[in-house]
Amino acid sequence: MRSCATTLLCLSKWLVLISCLCLLVFTQVSISLADTATYSDDLKRVVTIKIKPIRIVSLAPSITEILFAIGLNEEIVGVTQFSNYPPEAAKKPRVGSYVKLNIEAIVELSPDLIVATADGNPREIVERLESLGLSVFVIYPKDINDIYRNIRAIAMITGKKENGEKLARSLKKRIDMISAKTSRVDRRKVFFQLSKQPLYTVAPSTFIARLIRLAGGVNIVSSTKIRYPVYSMEEVVRSNPEYIFSTVMGTETVDLFAFWKRWDTIDAVREGNLFTINPDLINRPSPRIADGLETLAKIIHPEIFTETNATSGQDR
């Protein structure tokens, strides 16, 4: 009987111990699960992300700008080569350009969140980072509304929801105010130049073309499946734009104006309506896109604004 009682006592102790261990494991798993959340990104992928990540890597300059704009700084541990705004971004470690990323440099930063863009980041790099167990959230901005949505999404996954909502509303309000001023004006024909040779431009499906429309212009490029097509000079001459905008900057600017002035049958050239635009304001789907829109609108329709923010080729 005593042996039986002893056995039962020992069994009871083991059961208690096992129960405690199970409770401990369950508690740890619960805490682990509570520390993460799942989100759907722009590629419809379900991504598990740590709540309030503290080591974030940005894979595009526009993403870097958004992260800073919603109140992050110390949490940003890596950015791409041309992340130059705000000034604090220049102090962050580089992980390559957004089209030529350095996987080793990214992994060494031990990020708990990587924010990527389908509009430039190679898909194979994103998949490789995922295969290493890293959380990669992908955005894909194609229009102005996508910028608002991306700001809210990035704010949500980084624990800055309120800041993101405030920023998105403020940005939309400013863009709506500008577009309201140009809603009833006569549309001016615009050609937007991304490079000199070849002559890359923007298709109607891009958010830059949308900016042109909101600024009171109309893109001369017809519908095409290629978002950034090469245009021939014959097509430009035939369409006869009233304004030509270019993001070609620096030492190429003087040559650029000399290049266009050979085509003096084009209204924009004859009237001196050749303008350079800071590419960071117009090419990046970031909060500064409102600055780009305002710059375009003040040039195309100066009569409805009190001042202009761009430099004409005539003044250089």
Q: What pLDDT, in 10s, does the model give residues 150-208?
A: 999 999 999 999 999 999 999 999 999 999 999 988 999 999 998 877 899 999 988 89
Q: How far apart are CA 193 and CA 276, in angstroms?
A: 9
User: How does residue 60 score in pLDDT terms, banded at 50, 70 and 90?
Assistant: very high
Q: Of 119, 136, 168, at which residue does a domain stop?
A: 168
Tally of residues, the chain: 316
Strand pairing class (217-219; 243-246): unpaired
- The DSSP string of 197-248 is SS-B---TTSHHHHHHHHTTEEE-PPP-S-SS-B--HHHHHHH--SEEEE--
Query: Do residues 228 and 161 both lie within one domain?
Result: no
The closest of 235, 195, 231, 188 to 212, measured between CA atoms, is 188
The pLDDT-based confidence of 217 (bands split at 50, 70, 90) is very high
Max CA distance (Å), the chain: 113
Is 13 inside any structural domain?
no
Tell me what the pLDDT averaged over the chain comes to: 86
Mean pLDDT of 130-137: 95
Distance of CA 315 to the CA centre of its chain: 32
Q: What is the pTM of this model?
A: 0.82
- 194/133 same-domain check: no
Are 117 and 228 within one domain? no
pLDDT band at 254; cut points 50, 70, 90: low
Q: Is a pLDDT exceeding 50 seen at residue 17?
A: no
Establish if 295 belongs to a structural domain. yes
Task: Report yes or no on 20 lying in a domain.
Answer: no
Contact between 36 and 48 (Cβ < 8 Å): yes
Q: What is the mean pLDDT of residues 124-135?
A: 95
Q: Say whether both 155 and 189 belong to one domain.
A: no
Q: Quick one: which of 283, 281, 286, 267 has its CA closest to 311?
A: 281
- Reduced to 3 states (helix: H, G, I; strand: E, B; else coil), residue 109 is coil
Long-range own/partner contacts, residues 267-274 (CB < 8 A, 24 or more apart): 267/189, 267/240, 267/241, 267/242, 268/191, 268/241, 268/242, 268/243, 268/244, 269/244, 271/242, 272/312, 272/313, 272/314, 273/242, 273/243, 273/244, 273/312, 274/244, 274/246, 274/312, 274/313, 274/314
Q: What is the mean pLDDT of residues 308-315?
A: 41
Q: Could you tell me the residue range of the domain that residue 42 belongs to?
A: 36-168
Q: Which CATH number fits the domain that encloses residue 81? A: 3.40.50.1980
Report how many domains make up the chain: 2
